[in-house]
């Protein structure tokens, strides 16, 4: 959420208490959940939900008492509709926070690579459709969270260090080719 003027600095706990959410189809606003976060910087308030919206939207309400700049206080609460979620549901569930550096790297890959071509866009749409319920299961199981972190580690490494990953991959391919040649040579020598 962005405002016309810079906001007064509000500590995260006060800010979080002043924000509530109403998912599409619901009639009542609810307080943010325990794992949700709210941060203000300049004229922007960023709300990070720990649980997915399951592809639906939501209304985020900010209490007027925290929307102020200098001595001016807003007269009414601000309600903003969120129509698209940021995603990375499975990585967020596995690493415990949308703000985790590994999740950030995957978001950057999504924004800078996947969303720039039609196949990547299809993948992201499909992922957003199917991943929220999977992420909810992962988030509730420490064993699944660890397993998913282990499975995501090579992908994150490739995203964060593409040159190093390419060199390692080429080295592995060269090693496999050499092993195969040695095996063939050993078979042909014993078959003489």
Q: What's the pLDDT tens digit per position in 109-144?
A: 988 888 888 898 888 888 887 888 888 888 888 999
Please give the average per-residue pLDDT across 131-160, as a whole number. Answer: 90
Q: Where among 82, 97, 130 does a domain terminate? A: 82
1 within a domain of the structure (yes/no)? no
Residue 39 belongs to domain spanning: 12-82
6 within a domain of the structure (yes/no)? no
144 within a domain of the structure (yes/no)? yes
- Look at residue 106 and tell me whether its pLDDT is greater than 50: yes
- Both tokens of 111, joined, read 């924004």
**Residue 51 confidence class, pLDDT cut points 50, 70, 90:** low
Is the separation of the CB atoms in 32 and 20 below 8 Å?
yes
Q: For residues 102 and 183, state if they share a domain.
A: yes
Q: For residues 50 and 106, state if they share a domain.
A: no
- Both tokens of 122, joined, read 């299809």
Chain mean pLDDT for the chain: 78
Q: Where among 82, 103, 127 does a domain terminate? A: 82
Please give the average per-residue pLDDT across 101-112, as a whole number. Answer: 87
- Look at residue 66 and tell me whether its pLDDT is greater than 70: no
Please give the average per-residue pLDDT across 23-44, as a whole number. Answer: 74
For the chain, how many structural domains are there in total? 2
Q: For residues 165 and 94, state if they share a domain.
A: yes
Q: For residues 182 and 94, state if they share a domain.
A: yes
- Phi and psi for 42 in degrees, rounded to 5? 65, -120
Q: For residues 113 and 170, state if they share a domain.
A: yes
What global pTM score does this model have?
0.51
114 within a domain of the structure (yes/no)? yes
Q: For residues 93 and 182, state if they share a domain.
A: yes
Q: For residues 33 and 105, state if they share a domain.
A: no
3-state helix, strand, coil in the chain (%, to 5): 55, 15, 30
Q: Where among 82, 104, 128 does a domain terminate? A: 82
Q: For residues 42 and 119, state if they share a domain.
A: no
Please give the average per-residue pLDDT across 173-189, as a whole number. Answer: 85
Q: For residues 72 and 145, state if they share a domain.
A: no
How many helices (DSSP H) and strands (DSSP E) are in the chain? 6, 8
Q: For residues 99 and 178, state if they share a domain.
A: yes
Is the separation of the CB atoms in 152 and 105 below 8 Å?
no
Q: Give the Cα separation of 146 and 94 in Å (integer).
A: 7
pLDDT (0 to 100) of residue 178: 93
Please give the average per-residue pLDDT across 165-179, as a whole number. Answer: 93
Q: Give the Cα separation of 108 and 140 in Å (integer).
A: 26
DSSP code of residue 43: T
Of the segments 9-13, 89-93, 96-100, 174-178, which one has the largest average pLDDT value?
Answer: 174-178
Q: Give the Cα separation of 180 and 192 in Å (integer).
A: 19
- Look at residue 54 and tell me whether its pLDDT is greater than 60: no
Q: For residues 93 and 138, state if they share a domain.
A: yes
pLDDT (0 to 100) of residue 84: 45
Q: For residues 107 and 184, state if they share a domain.
A: yes
Q: Give the Cα separation of 108 and 173 in Å (integer).
A: 28
């Amino acid at each position: 959420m962005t405002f016309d003027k810079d906001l007064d600095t509000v500590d995260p706990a006060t800010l979080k208490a002043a924000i509530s959410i109403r998912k599409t189809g619901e009639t009542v606003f609810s307080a943010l959940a325990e794992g949700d976060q709210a941060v203000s910087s300049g004229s922007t308030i960023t709300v990070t939900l720990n649980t997915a919206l399951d592809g639906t939207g939501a209304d985020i309400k900010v209490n007027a008492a925290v929307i102020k700049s200098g001595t001016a206080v807003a007269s009414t609460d601000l309600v903003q509709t969120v129509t698209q979620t940021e995603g990375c549901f499975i990585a967020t569930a596995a690493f415990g926070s949308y703000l985790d550096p590994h999740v950030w790297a995957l978001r950057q890959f999504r924004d800078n690579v996947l969303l720039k071509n039609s196949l990547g866009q299809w993948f992201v749409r499909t992922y957003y459709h199917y991943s929220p319920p999977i992420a909810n299961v992962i988030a509730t199981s420490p064993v699944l969270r660890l397993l998913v972190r282990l499975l995501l580690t090579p992908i994150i490494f490739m995203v964060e260090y593409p040159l190093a990953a390419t060199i390692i991959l080429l080295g592995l391919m060269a090693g496999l080719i050499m092993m195969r040649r040695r095996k063939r040579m050993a078979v042909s020598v014993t078959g003489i």
